């Protein structure tokens, strides 16, 4: 089908469903912590602004959480349907880790999500804050499990291969595998940043339209503090993660750098831009800075960085793709840092909320965190190729034996349904954002709970906005 | 080791699937019955009778999938790849239906019918594919090495298609008796009217499946009809008949609660018949739960979390249903 083989289609299908899925949990993780901070500040300062913001973002959190659950349902089955050889080979390790991720999520839903979303008027402020904190911590525990599983696939250890299958011998070693701490930190912080820029852009959208209230200003201000303080931290973590990858997956680094061969006794240059060509085994049209590659990756001027030609052609990841996804991620990261710096300067000059060029920048940076997450995901996962479990099982040997036609049809179905369903969902989130935080909305909050019409079992029920314009809609008239 | 972890996990997964069939069954049934109820008010009411609980019901499907992956990776990989198309279509049906459910409430009156259709279509698709998967599961999967060795359309047999239709009827009956329990007045009367014919159809489906299964599956026939098994299994069909009879009587005398409870018993009996036919194979006809088991380290490690969290989910579920007890009336609107 379209010249693609079954393996390619299976990979595209996984990439497509995971790309949709990852966005929702990332924003869930970020918003959960943001809500915990907002509620903490409300309890500490008594400033109702924080309470209003809490209620506004809690609705968006709920809708987003709901879509994460729905898109996650597909992921829970896809390892078996599409990657059966992998599931059989590595299921003893990845199965339990995935199960813990699922159990954590349901534990949250059963325990604290209900109190958090619907218990504002029913429990004391202390217990409510505790619930919000538990939800925030719970999303991070979920992240912990799923990244343990993913990291193990990159840097497997703590297992033995018995009868051609993985058997876990030491769970601590399995979970705390070499790339896990870096990957976990990098992903969690990425989720925070993606959320911060989403929140910041929401504020900027309203400010640009002349809607100005203290809640919007607070949103922008908090988001820009995150950009200033956390984006550089992310660059630092990313650097550590890169060094870890250099040690355990040198071929991935070589591909990310588009670096084909080392000349004797010469430090490795850094290729800024170029077109890595897998056929010709060179990076064409390249613009490079001498010795900078060695400096960044080995922190020295005499050590060399591994090059792609040191690996057999069948062991090389596709450098054309990861070279560019990596650069996209880094570029967005640098733009985030820059945005944070500009914001601080404007804040100091007292023009943070008025500068239209800056507000436009923040608006355009809204999806930057999400795009960076996807670019980073592609870099690390395509960079792992041709392995699915690094050094243990090749992707080509992991796939179920479905025909290209079958995979093509299901892929088309997924594309159709996902765009229809999550398109409406994302549209709804944006509609909630467009309404914006209302001053005093925290004072009148609906109740709900297990067994009621508004219930944590269906988080989306927490939001009560309509899906599209109806007659007399105030937004419709204003725009 | 004294503890049979595979057995414990098999019980957990069987229990999980049972919970799923019982709980998601009636709300899928609501979607299946939607075309038979035309007016918008009644449709709102039908939705409202499941709104507070249905999403929690799908919890069990995710838990079942993850549990199977952790405890029986071989079964997870063989069964799911053998049932590739039905499973993917089921997931797509559930995604569609899940989101349609939410957005129907949020849509304007003029657009609501689009979401109604998505809800009906998603429910039908999910139910039908589940039934097809069930039929194919009974039929069994050829395994070579540790891989599914059959073709992409092995699941497509007259028997499995019939099971798909059969499950639609069974879920419709669950939905119907659920509505009898949760509503009153016009809608309840409508359900009383279609209840009796539905029971007859379900009974016919059970009968046909019970004859068809041993006719085409000699191994199951031998298990059923050899002595002393026959005496052990005999109560099942007798109980099915008694239960169906009691169910029709209860609908005739306009009982509120017993039709739903008797339908649950009926479903449970059917489910136990399945267990009798297949145990202890997790990939029929030949791979047992012990053959497909993950190493004890994996089963034990996951069991700790499962034993801690599943009871919690059960308590929470029970609480949800308790809070939601009693009749749902029009006007107790969603918004």
Contacts of B191 (CB under 8 A, 6+ apart): B33, B176, B177, B179, B180, B183
Q: Which of A66, A81, A413 sits opposite B102 (nearest CB)?
A: A66
Residues 193-232 of A with CB under 8 A from B: none
- Contact indicator for A355, A348 with CB cutoff of 8 Å: no
Q: Does A80 touch chain B (CB under 8 A)?
A: yes
pLDDT at position A470: 45
pLDDT at position A1: 47
User: Could you report the per-residue pLDDT of A387-406, keeping only the tens digit for each?
Assistant: 999 999 999 999 988 889 88
pLDDT at position A282: 87
C-beta atoms of A87 and B77 within 8 A: yes
Q: Compute CA distances B75 → B58, B66, B187, whole Å.
A: 21, 12, 43
Provide the CA B174 distance to its chain's centre, in angstroms. 10
Distance CA A134, CA A309 (A): 49
User: Could you report the per-residue pLDDT of B19-32, keeping only the tens digit for each?
Assistant: 888 888 898 999 99
Distance CA A262, CA A340 (A): 38
Residue B287, H or E segment: strand B287-288
Residues 92-111 of B with CB under 8 A from A: 92, 94-96, 98-99, 101-103, 105-108, 111
Instruction: Give the model's confidence band at B326: pLDDT under 50 very low, under 70 low, under 90 confident, else very high.
Output: confident
Q: Does B287 touch chain A (CB under 8 A)?
A: no
- Contact indicator for A369, A196 with CB cutoff of 8 Å: yes
C-beta atoms of A450 and B335 within 8 A: no
Which residue has 């009926």 as its token pair?
B266
Residues 155-174 of B with CB under 8 A from A: none
Distance CA A52, CA A63 (A): 18
Residue B288, H or E segment: strand B287-288
Angstroms from B274 CA to nearest CA on chain A:
23
- Contact indicator for A251, A260 with CB cutoff of 8 Å: no
C-beta atoms of A96 and B70 within 8 A: yes
The number of CA neighbours under 13 Å toward the Cβ of B298 is 32
User: Which range among B201-210, B273-282, B314-323 has the greatest average pLDDT?
Assistant: B201-210
User: Which of B70, B300, B335 to mutate against chain A (most A CBs within 10 Å)?
Assistant: B70
Residue B3, H or E segment: none
pLDDT at position B334: 42
Structure tokens that stand for B293 in this block: 């088991």
Which residue of chain A comes nearest to B122, CA vs CA?
A417
Strand B287-288 with A393-394, pairing: unpaired
Output the CA torsion A400→A404→A410→A415 (10° steps): 120
Q: Is A153 exposed, middle or buried (0-12, 13-18, 19+ CB in 10 A)?
A: buried
Give the residue with greater pLDDT, B74 vs B114: B74
Q: Which of A82, A98, A424 sits opposite B66 (nearest CB)?
A: A98
Angstroms from A226 CA to nearest CA on chain B:
33
- The domains located in chain B, with CATH, are 5-323 (1.20.1630)
Query: Which among A198, A144, A173, A145 is positioned nearest to A31, based on CA atoms?
Result: A198
Distance CA B149, CA B129 (A): 21
Angstroms from B329 CA to nearest CA on chain A:
12
C-beta atoms of B107 and A467 within 8 A: yes
Task: Give me Rg for the CA atoms of chain A.
Answer: 24
User: Could you report the per-residue pLDDT of A198-214, keeping only the tens digit for each?
Assistant: 999 999 999 999 888 89
The number of CA neighbours under 13 Å toward the Cβ of B255 is 16
Which residues of chain B does A88 touch, with a Cβ-Cβ cutoff of 8 Å? Answer: 73-74, 77-78, 146-147
Please report, in tens digits, the pLDDT of each residue of chain A (479 residues total): 456 788 999 999 999 999 999 999 999 999 999 999 999 999 999 898 999 999 999 999 988 988 888 888 888 889 989 999 999 999 999 999 999 998 888 777 666 887 788 777 778 888 889 989 999 998 999 999 999 999 999 999 999 999 889 999 999 999 999 999 999 999 999 999 999 999 999 999 999 998 888 999 999 999 999 999 999 999 999 999 999 999 999 999 999 999 998 888 888 889 889 899 888 888 888 888 888 888 888 888 888 888 899 999 999 999 999 999 999 999 999 999 999 999 999 999 999 999 999 999 999 999 999 999 999 999 999 999 999 999 999 999 999 888 898 899 999 999 998 898 888 889 999 999 998 888 777 665 556 666 566 666 677 777 777 766 544 333 333 33
State the pTM of this model. 0.89
Q: Which of B56, B80, B333 sits opposite A84 (nearest CB)?
A: B80
Which residues of chain B does A67 touch, with a Cβ-Cβ cutoff of 8 Å? Answer: 99
Q: Does A98 touch chain B (CB under 8 A)?
A: yes
Query: Which among B10, B146, B17 is positioned nearest to B78, based on CA atoms?
Result: B146
Q: Does A6 touch chain B (CB under 8 A)?
A: no
Beta bridge partners of A277: A282
Distance CA A473, CA B221 (A): 65
Which residues of chain B does A400 touch, with a Cβ-Cβ cutoff of 8 Å? Answer: 77, 81, 84, 148
- Contact indicator for A238, A337 with CB cutoff of 8 Å: no
C-beta atoms of B81 and A401 within 8 A: yes
User: Could you report the per-residue pLDDT of B283-309, keeping only the tens digit for each?
Assistant: 888 888 998 889 999 999 999 999 988
Q: Which of A406, A421, A464 sits opposite B95 (nearest CB)?
A: A421
Which residues of chain B does A418 touch, with a Cβ-Cβ cutoff of 8 Å? Answer: 95
């Amino acid at each position: 089908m379209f010249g693609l083989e079954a393996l390619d289609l299976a990979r595209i299908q996984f990439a497509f469903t995971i790309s949709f899925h990852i966005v929702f949990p990332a924003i869930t993780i970020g918003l959960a912590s943001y809500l915990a901070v907002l509620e903490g500040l409300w309890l500490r300062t008594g400033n109702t602004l924080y309470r209003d913001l809490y209620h506004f973002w809690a609705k968006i959190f709920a809708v987003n959480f709901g879509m994460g659950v729905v898109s996650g349902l597909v992921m829970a089955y896809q390892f078996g349907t599409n990657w059966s050889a992998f599931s059989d080979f590595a299921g003893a390790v990845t199965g339990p880790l995935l199960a813990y991720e699922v159990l954590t999520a349901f534990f949250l839903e059963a325990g604290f999500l209900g109190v958090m979303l619907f218990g504002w008027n029913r429990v004391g402020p202390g217990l409510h804050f505790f619930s919000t904190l538990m939800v925030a911590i719970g999303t991070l525990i979920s992240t912990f499990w799923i990244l343990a599983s993913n990291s193990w696939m990159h840097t497997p250890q703590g297992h033995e291969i018995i009868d051609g299958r993985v058997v876990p011998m030491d769970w601590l070693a399995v979970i705390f595998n070499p790339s896990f701490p870096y990957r976990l930190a990098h992903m969690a912080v990425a989720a925070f940043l993606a959320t911060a820029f989403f929140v910041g852009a929401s504020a900027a959208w309203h400010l640009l339209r002349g809607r100005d209230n203290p809640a919007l200003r607070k949103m922008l201000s908090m988001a820009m503090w995150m950009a200033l303080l956390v984006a550089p931290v992310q660059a630092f973590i990313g650097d550590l993660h890169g060094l870890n990858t250099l040690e355990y997956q040198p071929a991935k680094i070589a591909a990310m750098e588009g670096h084909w061969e080392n000349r004797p006794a010469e430090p490795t240059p850094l290729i800024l831009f170029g077109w890595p060509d897998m056929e010709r085994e060179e990076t064409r049209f390249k613009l490079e800075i001498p010795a900078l590659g060695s400096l960044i990756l080995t922190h020295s001027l005499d050590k060399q960085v591994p090059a792609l030609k040191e690996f057999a052609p069948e062991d090389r990841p596709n450098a054309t793709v990861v070279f560019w996804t990596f650069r996209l991620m880094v570029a967005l990261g640098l733009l985030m840092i820059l945005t944070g710096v500009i914001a601080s300067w404007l804040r100091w000059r007292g023009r943070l909320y008025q500068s239209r060029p800056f507000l436009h920048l923040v608006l355009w940076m809204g999806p930057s965190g999400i795009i960076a997450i996807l670019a980073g995901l592609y870099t690390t996962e395509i960079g792992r190729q041709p392995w699915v479990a690094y050094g243990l099982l090749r992707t080509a040997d992991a796939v179920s034996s479905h025909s290209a036609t079958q995979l093509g049809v299901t892929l088309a179905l997924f594309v159709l349904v996902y765009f229809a369903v999550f398109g409406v969902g994302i549209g709804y989130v944006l509609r909630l954002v467009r309404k914006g935080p209302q001053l005093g909305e925290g004072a009148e909050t609906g109740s709900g709970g297990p067994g009621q019409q508004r219930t944590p079992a269906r988080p989306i029920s927490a939001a009560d906005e309509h899906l599209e314009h109806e007659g007399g809609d105030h937004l419709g008239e204003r725009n | 080791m004294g503890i049979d972890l595979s057995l414990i996990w098999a019980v957990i997964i069987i229990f999980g699937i049972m919970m799923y069939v019982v709980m998601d069954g009636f709300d899928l049934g609501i979607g299946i019955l939607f075309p038979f109820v035309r007016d918008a008010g009644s449709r709102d009411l039908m939705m409202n009778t499941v709104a507070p609980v249905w999403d929690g019901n799908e919890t069990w499907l995710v838990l079942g999938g993850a549990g199977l992956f952790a405890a029986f990776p071989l079964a997870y990989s063989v069964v799911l790849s053998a049932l590739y198309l039905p499973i993917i279509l089921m997931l797509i049906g559930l995604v569609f239906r899940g989101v349609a459910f939410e957005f129907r409430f949020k849509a304007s009156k003029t657009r609501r019918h689009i979401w109604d259709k998505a809800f009906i279509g998603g429910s039908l698709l999910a139910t039908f594919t589940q039934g097809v998967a069930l039929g194919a599961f009974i039929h069994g999967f050829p395994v070579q090495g540790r891989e599914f060795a059959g073709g992409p359309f092995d699941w497509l047999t007259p028997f499995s298609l019939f099971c798909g239709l059969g499950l639609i009827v069974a879920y419709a009956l669950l939905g119907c008796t659920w509505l009898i329990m949760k509503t009153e007045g016009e809608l309840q009367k409508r359900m009383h009217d279609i209840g009796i014919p539905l029971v007859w159809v379900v009974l016919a489906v059970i009968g046909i499946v019970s004859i068809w299964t041993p006719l085409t599956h000699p191994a199951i026939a031998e298990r059923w009809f050899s002595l002393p098994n026959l005496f052990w299994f005999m109560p099942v069909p007798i109980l099915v008949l008694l239960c169906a009879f009691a169910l029709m009587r209860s609908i005739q005398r306009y009982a509120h609660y017993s039709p739903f409870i008797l339908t649950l018993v009926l479903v449970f009996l059917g489910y136990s018949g399945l267990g009798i036919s297949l145990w202890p194979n997790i990939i029929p006809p030949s791979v047992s739960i012990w053959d497909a088991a993950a190493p004890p380290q994996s089963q034990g490690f996951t069991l700790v979390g499962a034993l801690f969290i599943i009871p919690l989910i059960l308590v929470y579920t029970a609480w949800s249903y308790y809070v939601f007890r009693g009749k749902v009336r029009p006007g107790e609107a969603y918004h």
